[in-house]
Amino acid sequence: MASKSKVLVIGATGYIGRHIALAGPAEGHPTFVLVRPSTLASNPPVLHSFQAAGITLLQGSLEDYESLVAAIKQVDVVISAIGSNTLDQLKIMEAIKEVGTIKRFFPSEFGNDVDRVHALEPAKTHVFGLKAQVRRAVEESGIPYTFVVSNGFAGYVLSNLLQHGLQAPPRDKVSIYGSGDVKFISVLEEDVGAYTMKAVDDPRTLNKTLHLRPPANIVSMNSLVEMWEIMIGKSLEKVMVTEEDMVKQIQETPFPGNILPAIFHDIVIQGDHCNFELGPNDVEATARYPDHKYTSAREYLAKFL
C-alpha cells in the first residue's frame, strides 16, 4: 500500500484551518502547519492540540518567502485555509512552482461555489470575486488542484438558525428570510476537514471541485425551524423578513459588517448552495466517501438541548 502524502496546512490556526489540520493525522497523513513566529511565541492552545495530534509545527509566514519555500519542500500537498488577504495565495503558488514537486494544491475555498454565485456587494467582490481570481490563477498555472466547496459551516448557519448575534438556537422568536423555502447546506467543521483530507490522494478529485452536500443537511429555513421546534417541543414566533428588508440592512450596514449578511442573502434568498446540478468536473463528497459518517443537522442541534 502506497504511503500517504505529506500535507502542509497554511492558515491552520484559523477557524476552518484547525479542523483541516487535525483531520490530517486522523486520515493517516504526516501533517505540517506553517506558524508565524509571533503565534509560536504566544503559544495558543491550538498549537498544543496540533502537537498532541502529532502535527509538526514549521516556523514561517507568507511574508517570509524563504520560510514558505522551505516548508513546501518538506511535503507533497499544500492546503491553504487563510481566511483573509485571499490574493496572498498567489505567493503560495509562486513557491509551489519554484519547488516543483507538489502533487496537489487546495486553495482556500471552503464556502460557496464561487463560480456559481449571484451575490450582492460587498460579498460579490470582497469574498467570492477574490476567490474566483485565485481559481483562475490556479487553473492557468498548471498546478494540480482540488477546489473544496463546503457550503455553510454549521457553526455559522446551524448554531443559531441564522439568527445574527445569537450563540444558540432561539427558543422564543425566530426570523424567517424570504419565503423560508429556499434550500441551503450546512456541514460540521470537523467533517469539512475529514472530507478535505480524504481527497488529498484521491485521483478522482484531481483537478476537480469537491462539493460537500450531506443529504440530511440540505434544509430550508422553514424545515430547519420545524426540526428545532419538534426537538424542543415548542412553537416559535415567526418574524418574516423580506428580501427587500435584507437588502436594505446590507446597504445600511458599514463595511465590513455587511459581508456576512450579504453571504446569508446569497444562501437563503438566491439559493446558491443548491440551485445548480453538478457537472463532469464536480465530485460529491458524501457519495464519494460513504465510509465517513457525517454529523447531521439534527445531531448537531441536539447538543443545544
Alpha-carbon distance of 14 to 9, in angstroms, equals 11
**Catalytic residue selected from 131, 173, 198, 248:** 131
Strands (DSSP E) contained in 164-303 are 173-177, 183-187, 208-211, 218-220, 237-241, 282-284
Closest CA to 282 of 146, 172, 87: 146
198 included as an active-site residue: no
DSSP-derived 3-state class of residue 223:
helix
- 145 burial class (0-12, 13-18, 19+ CB within 10 angstroms)? buried
At 166, which amino acid appears?
L
* All three cell numbers of 227: 426540526
Q: Which residues are known to be catalytic?
A: 131
